Amino acid sequence: MQKKLDLPSKCGIEVRETVPGLYGGYFYNKSYQAGMGCYDIVKSAMLENEHLAPLVDEVDGFGKTTRIILKRACTEYEHTVGDSSEWRVTPEQEFIEDLVESYVVNEGLNLVQPEHILWNVKKRWIDWAWQNGDPTYARYTGGKPIYPVYVTYHQPELLTPPRDEILFRKF
Any idea where the domains of the chain sit in the sequence?
A: 2-105, 116-168
Q: How far apart are CA 56 and CA 75, in angstroms?
A: 21
Q: Is the pLDDT of residue 171 over 60?
A: no
CB atoms within 10 A of CB 21: 10
Asked if pLDDT for residue 95 goes beyond 60, the answer is yes
Q: Whose CA is closest to 45, among 23, 68, 64?
A: 68
Quick: pLDDT tens for 31-88: 999 999 999 999 999 999 998 999 998 998 998 888 899 999 989 999 999 999 999 9
pTM of the complete model? 0.76
Give, in order, the Cα–Cα distances in Å from 33 to each of 36, 64, 94.
5, 20, 18
How far is residue 169's CA from residue 42's CA, in Å, rounded to a whole number?
A: 60
How remote is the C-alpha of 102 from its chain's centroid? 33
